[in-house]
Amino acid sequence: MGKGGFGLVFQGKYKGADVAVKEPHDPEALHEEEALKKSFFREAKNLYRLSHRNVVALVGGIVSDDCGDPCYMMVTELLPQSLQKEMEILQELDGEERCKRQDRLMIELAEGLAYLHSAGIIHKDIKSQNVMVDTSGSPKYIDFGLCKQEQVTTSTASTRLAGTLYWMSPERKRGGAASAKSDVYSLGLLLVYMLTMAKLPEGEE
């Protein structure tokens, strides 16, 4: 279905339902790299305790195959459409219908982020590529590998920029800590692109 910095995403079936399976490029390397393992388990742990219409739903995770070899696969609900594709479809609609669907997307993205922050989660990587749209037209945040608990994230600033530079707030680009405010800044930038119907930038890691 797609690929990213972590690995490949495949479509699969689980108990009769379509699911998305995210598999790392190199499971052995992930198994040996403590930071990557922590990212995997952090994403699984956070998705397990989150439940909201605008957050991707976790189905399960697999850390080893039948032979005992590491695989580190994440299984979530299948989200068939990217935000970029949804915006392309909106551009073909008449003004009233386009505005109606555009407003829904933006409101639900704000509600989803408010829910994450109420749960003490800082996403840290809000961008167009980390929003998918389900079959009912609701946007959902994905990719929680960088997210942090709020009390941990705001206490110290990291010397390493984790996330996508284009969508970062000014303070994060200067090396400051991620916070709810920096998430809101990134969302605001995303909403500007949605309002103007501009082509969403890919950004640079």
Q: How many CB atoms lie within 10 A of CB 195?
A: 12
Taking the domain 81-196, which CATH number applies? Answer: 1.10.510.10
**Model pTM score:** 0.83
Residues annotated catalytic, as ranges: 125
- Which pLDDT tens digit goes with each residue over 18-64? 999 988 887 887 788 888 888 888 888 889 999 999 999 999 988 88
How far is 85 from 25, CA to CA, in rounded Å?
A: 25
Query: Is pLDDT of 163 > 70?
Result: no
pLDDT at residue 183, as a whole number: 95
Q: Is there a common fold for 2-77 and 81-196?
A: no
> What residue ranges do the domains of the chain occupy?
2-77, 81-196
Of the listed ranges 2-6, 10-14, 113-117, 157-161, the least confidently predicted one is 157-161
| 202 or 99, higher pLDDT | 99
The CATH topology of domain 2-77 is: Phosphorylase Kinase; domain 1 (3.30.200)
Query: Is pLDDT of 204 > 70?
Result: no
